[in-house]
Amino acid sequence: MIRNEFAAAGIDDPMLREAYRRCREINAAHGRTFFLATRLLAPDQRPAVHALYGFARYADDILDEFDPTLDTAARARQLQLLADQFFARAEHPGDPVLTAVGHTVARYGIADELFEDFLRSMRMDLSVTDYADRAALEEYMRGSAEAIGLQLLPILGTVTAPEEAAPHAAALGRAFQLTNFLRDVDEDLLRDRVYLPADELAVHGVDRDLLMWCHHNQHTDSRVRKALQAQHEIARRTYRYAAEGIAMLAPRSRPCVATAMQLYSEILDCIEESDFAIFRRRATVGTRRRIQVAGAGLIHAWRARSHAAAVPGAA
pLDDT at res. 280: 95
The answer on pLDDT for 305 being more than 80 is no
Q: What is the mean pLDDT of residues 3-32?
A: 91
Beta carbons of 274 and 218 less than 8 angstroms apart: no
Query: What are the domain boundaries of the chain?
Result: 1-127, 145-307
Q: What is the mean pLDDT of residues 264-273?
A: 96
The answer on pLDDT for 311 being more than 70 is no
Q: How far apart are CA 29 and CA 288, in angstroms?
A: 18
Q: What is the pLDDT of residues 56-70, one digit of tens each?
A: 998 988 887 766 677
Q: Which CATH superfamily is domain 145-307 in?
A: Farnesyl Diphosphate Synthase (1.10.600.10)
Report the chain's mean pLDDT, rounded to a whole number.
Answer: 91
- Adjacent-strand bridge partners of 135: none
pLDDT at res. 64: 76
The answer on pLDDT for 17 being more than 90 is yes
- CATH code assigned to 1-127: 1.10.600.10
Q: What is the mean pLDDT of residues 82-86?
A: 92
Residue 204, SS3 per DSSP: coil
The answer on pLDDT for 314 being more than 60 is no
**Topology match between the domains 1-127 and 145-307:** yes
Residue 312, SS3 per DSSP: coil
Measure CA 5 to chain center: 22
Task: Write the CB contacts of 58 (distance below 8 Å, at least 6 apart in sequence).
Answer: 82, 97
pLDDT at res. 307: 61
The answer on pLDDT for 91 being more than 70 is no
Q: What is the pLDDT of residues 119-151, one digit of tens each?
A: 999 999 999 999 999 999 999 999 999 999 999
Output the CA torsion 220→226→230→231 (10° steps). Answer: -20
Whole-number percent of the chain with pLDDT over 70: 93
Q: How far apart are CA 229 and CA 196, in angstroms?
A: 12
pLDDT at res. 35: 86
Number of other CB atoms surrounding residue 1 within 10 Å = 7
